[in-house]
Amino acid sequence: MDYFQRIGLLSSIDAEEVKQSIQKLESFLHAQGRDVVYEQKTAELVGWKVEKPLEINEFLESIDLVVVIGGDGSILSACRKIASSNVPLLGINLGRLGFLTDITPDEIELRVAPVLAGEFKQTERTMLSTSITRNGREIGTGTALNDVVLHPGMSVRMMEFELYVDGEFVYSQRSDGLIVATPTGSTAYALSAGGPLICPEIDAMVCVPLNPHTLSSRPIVLHGDSEIEIRVNSKHELHPSVTCDGQDDLITEPGDKILIKKHQHIISLIHPKDNNFYKVSRSKLGWGSRLGVKKER
């Protein structure tokens, strides 16, 4: 049985390598008898005439699979765009790490063909939604697949804040901020800050302090349905930023409240059938292989 008849191409990177990969992918998909649909901004990047490119909303209504060409940053950006569409996503990796993208441009024919034939894995990834309230009024919102980060912005001074989970006080802290990450985001900024790796299928989120001013502060793994509230200390002069997936900044003021919880929508990622979390972690993080076993490609 064939899968995914109308395939949408999406990218946000204006680079020759991206154009070559898109051209290669389009030719392959046409050879497989698939319809190829371009998102409007992607069509403007490629440098050749594209028939009937579509704005993002109409684009998502017209396809049954979106292929994103780029690195993990491109995937994160795409996930925020498609969050409410229920369209699954497949990534072609042109980046360095590629925790979310499994296929390189050289492997398009070899690894996309089985996906079109129904030989694939599908994982459901939770997202986070955040909102900031000031004097009881909502002044900003954001969505993240990886993480929501509270940080001091341009300042090098420590900030002070209080953390609440499901209405219960957890701690007050002086630090450089706090990372709230999904299992998907546990391999990103949270990992660099000393957080644990969390299998993507686990319904959880993790709070990881950034350079806390006490050795007793440690990452906390929470249930995925937890509601996190961060209260920015009203007595200091800093205006910390809240960043979603490192791409959107929301500026806070002393006394603001930041609410973070599971997003109402999930992202469906399509992977080749041989994909698994531990194999990817070994490859990307340089973990050792078993003695006597040839190194995996």
Residue 135: alpha-carbon gap to chain centroid? 31
DSSP state of 108: I
Q: Which residues contact 72 (CB under 8 A, 6 or more apart)?
A: 95, 97, 98, 99, 100, 101, 188
**Alpha-carbon distances, residue 280 vs 94, 102, 195, 266 (angstroms):** 16, 9, 18, 22
Angstrom CA distances, 207 to 18, 73, 159, 247, stand at: 35, 21, 16, 19
Catalytic-role residue among 72, 102, 248, 256: 72
Q: Nearest to residue 177, comparing CAs of 230, 245, 247, 246?
A: 230
Per-residue tokens: 221: 């793994």
- Alpha-carbon distance 149 to 245, whole Å? 8
Give catalytic status of residue 274 as yes or no. no
- Annotated catalytic sites, by residue? 72
